Amino acid sequence: MSQVPGTDKKTKLLVYTIEECPACGQKTKRAFAVGDYVTKDGGKCTKCSNQTKISLVYAENSKPSR
Amino acid sequence: MFLLGSTALQVPTDAGTIIYITFFVLIFFFQFAFGTRLQSYFAINDIGRGLNKLSLMKDKARKEAIDYLVNVGKTSADPTQRVDQFLDYVTIMPVDIDPAGLVGKIDHVVTTNNDRVRAEVGTLLSTQGGPANAVTVSISENLLEVATALNQLHKIVRHFYLLGKKTNSYFTLLQLQMLMPMIIQEADALLNATDSFKMGQPVGDGIGPVVVSKYMQGKEKRVIAKDTVMAITEYKGRKLYVLKADGPMAYVGQPGVAIKKVIEEMGVKPSAIVMIDAALKLEGEKSGEIAEGVGAAIGGIGVEKFQIEEAATKAKVPLYAILVKQSLIEAITVMRKEIAEASDKVAQVLNRVIEEKTKEGDEVLVAGIGNTLGVAQ
């Protein structure tokens, strides 16, 4: 998983990729992989088996490390 | 008179009191004679520590750029010497004592510099099989820009630090000491940006391209200006001309040239130009907050803004802006959740602006402004 330092240095940011199904709207969240970009084809939708597309790539704070 | 007389009689004569008074007189004298020198000493120490930090940061950024060129770019030769030359390359801005036509001159100089950087990085990364991957070239350009900025920052701080020391100028040192925390914060933001660039992750500044990419998906794209693409789509009876920098490369494109071309060369008569961009928030404001306004929502040196304002003014097209608030570090590092999740709300605002400000059958120009790394269309 991609990790980058947070703004306050005590937290790490975990980067996620969101895949969205254009047919049923189901969103799947997974760890970011190098080569991911917004609008790139994702995997098959787990609900309707349609081709998903990457709709967002974003970072979230992980728990502060001690 | 009596009181004054009695006060005068109260002059202490014992040794303890005299030592006590002498001590305070000495402290007062010391403070008066050496106070600023003492504070200069503390300031020098403080700035020195900050300067060491800056030096480490610029070395790290340089190393990151070289490592990326070698490991990902697969350069055939050692790029160290070329990178070092790159860091000291200067762009001489045109003379401004006669401001007429200045924007055109700045545009010319900046474009020349950008072209040179692209060509040099391209040559450095070109493989035997052909030209290098466009994403890798664009990321390398950005990494080199970060390394150059940190190198320049370090040089400027070192200049004033040494000048202050040499001339023993207390006020030079004091000003630098006061600015140091903000300088370090900015340098830290730049250094953190290298992590996102290397991985090809969208940055906070890319929120504009993220929003407009939703409108461009599945539509035919055409190159409208250097590194800038446009798609034509429809929304509630309006014809939308949607443009953004060509992704997923780390480009910002030339939206000014593109908008000018659409209006002046393609003969499109838009009823509104809507620009979506990231905006620096003030302390206390929340990241991901959306602000609406009028005017050209675009940062940078001012050339693009000038071109857009000029084209819009000539054609009498109103300019609307939708801004997503974020800090400097959030703008140049991987996009935070609260900013990314604002994209749906921005799309709703954009739809509302189009519906309110235009009518069916109108043409609307929509521009997603910002670095489009990790955001295709």
Q: Could you read off the pLDDT of B271-291 as tens digits, one per residue?
A: 999 999 999 999 999 999 999
Q: Considering the domain boundaries, does residue B358 fall inside one?
A: yes
Residue B345 has a CB neighbour count (10 Å cut-off) of 15
Task: Give the minimum alpha-carbon distance from A57 to chain B in angstroms, rounded to a whole number.
Answer: 7
Q: What residue type is B217 in one-letter code? A: Q
Give residue B204's pLDDT: 96
- From B173, B199, B225, the end of a domain falls on B199
Structural domain of residue B76, as residue ranges?
Answer: 42-199
Q: Is the same domain home to B193 and B208?
A: no
- From B199, B234, B267, the end of a domain falls on B199
- From B199, B232, B261, the end of a domain falls on B199
Q: Considering the domain boundaries, does residue B139 fall inside one?
A: yes
**Whole-number mean pLDDT of chain B?**
92
Contact residues, chain A, for B327 at CB < 8 Å: 7
Q: Considering the domain boundaries, does residue B263 fall inside one?
A: yes
Q: Is the same domain home to B222 and B194?
A: no
Q: Is the pLDDT of residue A9 over 60?
A: no
Q: Considering the domain boundaries, does residue B28 fall inside one?
A: no
Q: Is the pLDDT of residue A66 over 70?
A: no
Q: Considering the domain boundaries, does residue B37 fall inside one?
A: no
Closest in B213, B334, B377 to A15, CB measured: B334
Give residue B7's pLDDT: 54
Q: Is the same domain home to B64 and B192?
A: yes
Give residue B126's pLDDT: 74
The whole-angstrom separation of Cα B340 and Cα A56 is 7
Query: Any idea of the CA torsion for B282, B283, B288, B289, to the nearest 10 degrees?
Result: -60
Interchain proximity B336–A56, CB inside 8 Å: no
The whole-angstrom separation of Cα B113 and Cα B284 is 37
The whole-angstrom separation of Cα B150 and Cα B138 is 19
Q: Considering the domain boundaries, does residue B249 fall inside one?
A: yes
Q: Considering the domain boundaries, does residue B271 fall inside one?
A: yes
Q: Is the same domain home to B151 and B56?
A: yes
Lowest mean pLDDT, pick from B3-12, B25-34, B296-305: B3-12
Counting residues of chain B whose pLDDT is more than 90, the rounded percentage is: 80
Q: Is the same domain home to B111 and B213?
A: no
Give residue B313's pLDDT: 96
Q: Is the pLDDT of residue B335 over 90?
A: yes
Closest in A13, A40, A58 to B376, CB measured: A40
Q: Is the same domain home to B212 and B170?
A: no
Q: Is the pLDDT of residue B11 over 80?
A: no
Q: Nearest chain A residue to B331 by CA: give it.
A: A7
Q: Is the same domain home to B68 and B181?
A: yes
Q: What average pLDDT score do residues B86-111 get?
A: 93
Q: Is the same domain home to B46 and B152?
A: yes
Mutation site, B136, B190, B195, B201, interface A, largest A CB count within 10 A: B201
Per-residue pLDDT tens for B184-243?
999 999 999 999 999 999 999 999 999 999 999 999 999 999 999 999 999 999 999 999
Q: Is the pLDDT of residue B128 over 70?
A: no
Q: Is the same domain home to B264 and B181?
A: no
Range B82-85 contact pairs with CB under 8 angstroms and sequence separation of 24 or more = B82/B120, B82/B124, B83/B144, B83/B147
Does residue B34 sit in helix, strand or coil?
helix
If one counts the domains in chain B, the total is 2
Q: Is the same domain home to B49 and B120?
A: yes
Nearest by Cα to A26 from A3, A48, A1, A57: A48
Give residue A5's pLDDT: 55
Q: Is the pLDDT of residue A1 over 70?
A: no
Give me the residues paired with residue B201 across strands: none
Give residue B1's pLDDT: 46
Q: Is the pLDDT of residue B127 over 90?
A: no
Radius of gyration of the CA atoms of chain A, in A: 14
Give residue A10's pLDDT: 59
Q: Considering the domain boundaries, does residue B352 fall inside one?
A: yes
Per-residue pLDDT tens for A22-56?
999 999 999 999 999 999 999 999 889 999 999 99
Q: Is the same domain home to B193 and B53?
A: yes
Q: Is the pLDDT of residue B48 over 60?
A: yes
List the CATH number of the domain containing B292.
3.40.50.1470
Q: Is the same domain home to B227 and B334?
A: yes
pLDDT higher at B161 or B74: B161
Q: Is the pLDDT of residue B9 over 90?
A: no
